[in-house]
Amino acid sequence: MAGYSASREPAAGKVARGIVTPDFDIAAPDPAGMVASLSSLGYSIEAAVADLVDNSISAKAGQIDVVFTWGAENSWVAVIDNGEGMALTDLITAMTPAARGPASERTAEDLGRFGMGLKTASFSQARQLTVTSANYSGEWHTRTWDLDTVESTREWRLLHNADLKTLEILDQLREGLVAGTVVLWRRLNGYGSDEMDVDQTAQQQFYDEATRVKRHLEMVFARFLKDVDLRIQGQRVQPWDPFLSGHPSVQRVPAEALPLAHSTVKVEAFVLPSAQKLSKEQYDAAGGPNGWLNQQGFYVYRRNRLILAGDWLDLRGLRQEEKYNLVRISVDVPAELDAEWSVDVRKSKVVPPVALRRHLRRIALRAREQGADVIRHRGQIAARQHGRTFVYPWRVDKLDGRIKCRINREHPLVRETLRTSEERSATVKALLTLLEETVPVEALRVIHEADAADDPEPFGGKPNETQEAVASELFAALVNQGKSPEEANAMLRDMDPFNRLSGFWNQ
């Protein structure tokens, strides 16, 4: 047959890549096709490196280093740890695709699921995967997957060693390690051209990826970084807390323990402070790797490892909207509930069980309402909690499905203006109506994200004399309306925006 050599002809009683029996066929997958499939699972480089770090943490490593080294087509990435390491049989098992399935017994520290992470993550990023490992016997063992070899031989040939250049890199990375594991990616996807030697853009892109990986690891492994020294390019990875749990202005919705399949799922919602209560540095950091809009929603943890960051889990009626930017909800899922949550092979996507969806939606709706309220009224919630009445210059209402912005005629300064301008009352009222009907909503929507750091701050950047002048007029209006000076000052202290400013009313 054309295209086949004699050695490729199927033997009697067999078919190519399978065995014929009276009852069934053994339909073994073609290695080349399987490699192509495993390489196309949609890993980002951040998720791929995180899968390698999973293995290091599972091996009880106290120090983990991620190294990106540019060399054009010879660029490489490595993850080095000082964990327990592996004997030769364990290394071969670790390098075998799906050698341990999701039903395999695992230790409490094991962050794996399908037994595929090392291979699928690596094949998605590189054509050559080499792993060298030593347990406390001190003997190093090395195995290599070369995808070109697999595809050309059409066999799963796990090579016993590596080429000289790879061994040279491994020697460098193992220096000083008594035990541990080194995972090395070479022949990286997208960097296989000689022309890249002089391509400064490609080099910058390569190191930009290292920066993105660092930010991703800060988020995914935040709960481990107290006990694990994780570094990338020599810089320590610092934990990122999406819930700003140490900030005094964070609102916590009471946590709930939701029962599921003889276990429980812990859910706790947080409403973050508005931008005005955060410094610029705090605000930028709280935006996370993906920005405020993309970081709102549920954060699903499995064995303290973040597997989904900022998502509304396709729950009915819930979608990303800027007014919910402050809402983040922690969900802790026990590893034994992986199947119920449909955790995928990349550990980056989940589907909540049907039995929990209405509870998750209920918790989310409550938190979203509080979060939207903070953005609409900023300090008003705190005032209500302290039993005080705030007076706002604007009223924002939703009537007949339409949002209406109205100047509050009961605001003391507005009342005083209308009272003392009787001869021009019609003009003043017309001006107020004109301002109400021409609020530049479209322009504000284009210019600002909801509650963004660049939102206009009342009297922001103005001299103190201006603040004092407006406050003095308002103080006089309150006194003219029958308030004592003490009462007028107290009302100023509880009135937006003077509740956030310093002046004579605080003395």
* 425-448 mean pLDDT: 76
Residue 167, both tokens? 């061994």
Residue 259 counted as domain residue: yes
Of 298, 308, 324, whose CA–CA distance to 449 is shortest? 324
| Residues paired with 267 in a beta bridge | 256, 331
- Could you count the other beta carbons within 10 Å of the beta carbon of residue 369? 12
Out of 343, 377, 411, pick the residue that ends a domain.
377
Residue 262, both tokens? 């003889």
Query: Which residues 6+ apart lie within 8 Å of 112 measured at CB?
Result: 54, 55, 58, 100, 106
Residue 289, both tokens? 């790797």
pLDDT in tens, 41-80: 778 999 999 999 999 999 999 999 999 999 989 999 999 9
Contact criterion met (CB below 8 Å) for 48 and 125: yes
Diameter of the chain measured on Cα atoms: 110
Domain extent for 500: 385-506
Do 77 and 118 fall within a single domain?
Answer: yes
Of 413, 433, 417, 436, whose CA–CA distance to 425 is shortest? 417
Reported in sequence order, the residue ranges of 192-316 that DSSP labels E, i.e. its strands, are: 229-232, 235-236, 251-260, 263-271, 297-302, 305-311
Do 61 and 191 fall within a single domain?
Answer: yes
Contact criterion met (CB below 8 Å) for 346 and 41: yes
Number of structural domains (the chain) is 3
DSSP state at residue 336: G
* 460-473 mean pLDDT: 70
Query: Which residues 6+ apart lie within 8 Å of 145 measured at CB?
Result: 95, 119, 122, 123, 128, 129, 130, 158, 159
Tell me the pLDDT band of 480, cut-offs 50, 70 and 90.
confident
Question: For residues 251 and 385, what is the distance between their CA atoms, to the nearest angstrom?
Answer: 12
Q: Is the dihedral of CA 445, 451, 453, 455 positive or negative?
A: positive
Question: For residues 44 and 51, what is the distance between their CA atoms, to the nearest angstrom?
Answer: 11
At residue 8, the pLDDT reads: 40
Do 338 and 415 fall within a single domain?
Answer: no
Decide which of 56 and 112 is more confident.
Answer: 56
CATH of the domain at 88: 3.30.565.10
pLDDT in tens, 115-137: 567 998 999 999 999 999 999 88
Contact criterion met (CB below 8 Å) for 253 and 270: yes
Query: Which residues 6+ apart lie within 8 Å of 360 measured at CB?
Result: 258, 267, 298, 313, 315, 331, 352
Residue 19, both tokens? 């065995």
Of 190, 158, 150, 42, whose CA–CA distance to 92 is shortest? 158
Out of 332, 357, 377, pick the residue that ends a domain.
377
Do 372 and 407 fall within a single domain?
Answer: no
pLDDT for 30 beyond 70: yes
Do 399 and 373 fall within a single domain?
Answer: no
Do 283 and 200 fall within a single domain?
Answer: no
Pairing of strands 263-271, 305-311: unpaired
At residue 443, the pLDDT reads: 72
Lowest mean pLDDT among 191-195, 240-244, 291-295: 191-195
Decide which of 381 and 41 is more confident.
Answer: 41
Tell me the pLDDT band of 463, cut-offs 50, 70 and 90.
very low
Question: For residues 375 and 391, what is the distance between their CA atoms, to the nearest angstrom?
Answer: 17
At residue 66, the pLDDT reads: 98
Q: Three-state SS for 411?
A: coil
pLDDT for 40 beyond 90: no
Do 419 and 370 fall within a single domain?
Answer: no
**Percent of the chain as helix, strand, coil, to the nearest 5:** 40, 20, 40
To the nearest 10 degrees (0 to 180), the angle between helices 485-493 and 464-480 is: 130
Out of 313, 344, 377, pick the residue that ends a domain.
377
Do 498 and 467 fall within a single domain?
Answer: yes
Residue 245 counted as domain residue: no
Distances (CA, A) of 485 to 469, 470, 501: 16, 16, 19
Do 298 and 390 fall within a single domain?
Answer: no
Lowest mean pLDDT among 96-105, 276-285, 322-331, 492-501: 96-105
Residue 186 counted as domain residue: yes
Return the half-sphere exposure (C-beta side, CA atoms, 13 A cut-off) of residue 303. Answer: 17
Residue 104 counted as domain residue: yes
At residue 477, the pLDDT reads: 82
Do 206 and 336 fall within a single domain?
Answer: no
Of 233, 252, 236, whose CA–CA distance to 244 is shortest? 252
Residue 23 counted as domain residue: no
| Residues paired with 235 in a beta bridge | 232
Question: For residues 64 and 56, what is the distance between their CA atoms, to the nearest angstrom?
Answer: 7
User: What is the CA 231 to chain-centroid distance, rounded?
Assistant: 19
Average pLDDT, the chain: 82
Question: For residues 414 and 421, what is the distance between their CA atoms, to the nearest angstrom?
Answer: 11
